[in-house]
Amino acid sequence: MFKLILIFLFLVQAGLSETAQEFVKLSNATMLVFKQSSSGSMEMTCTATLFCKKKLATSVISTTALIPVVMSYQLLTAAHCVMESGPDNKQAITKNPIFVSSDEEGSSKDFIRASVDKVGKTDKGFDLAVLSITTDRQLDIVEIGDEKL
């Protein structure tokens, strides 16, 4: 995180405000990927970039509470981050739960359960995976094909 702050400050001082804004956008759309072990501990494996979002439900005001907007997001990460070797040494999607978090610092992280939607064939050079999450949090995304980034 400290390294990211230094880069950002350099860009701002260099007068590259548009580049600095793009950096912030990309940084805000980046989440940490974790695998949960059988003992319950979390192991950070990679980062993932949010690239797509869909509204699943709109906010509703009931007599007892406000039900927030629920969003579905897709994230792009490396396939090896969600894979593990099976007994026959073949790669398979991990059986351990996958979580993401946007919080890089602090002892209490806000973990969101992720599902693995698609995984590339790493043995063929396609080291990509698509994850999805559902949350009522509003998260920034970077659209694929955005020529500015």
Question: 16-58, pLDDT tens digit by residue?
Answer: 566 666 767 778 889 999 999 889 899 999 999 999 888 876 6
Dihedral of the CA atoms 83, 85, 91, 95 (nearest 10)?
-50
3-state DSSP percent of the chain in helix, strand and coil, to 5: 20, 40, 40
Q: What's the rounded Cα separation, in Å, for the pair 94 and 78?
A: 13
Q: Are strands 129-135 and 112-119 parallel, antiparallel or unpaired?
A: antiparallel
End-to-end CA distance of the chain: 20
Residues in contact with 27: Cβ distance below 8 Å, sequence separation at least 6, in sequence order: 4, 8
pLDDT digits (tens, 9 = 90+) for 81-135: 998 877 777 778 888 899 999 866 656 678 999 999 999 988 888 899 999 999 9
Cα 40 versus chain centre, distance: 20
Coil vs helix vs strand at 127: coil
pTM listed for this prediction: 0.75
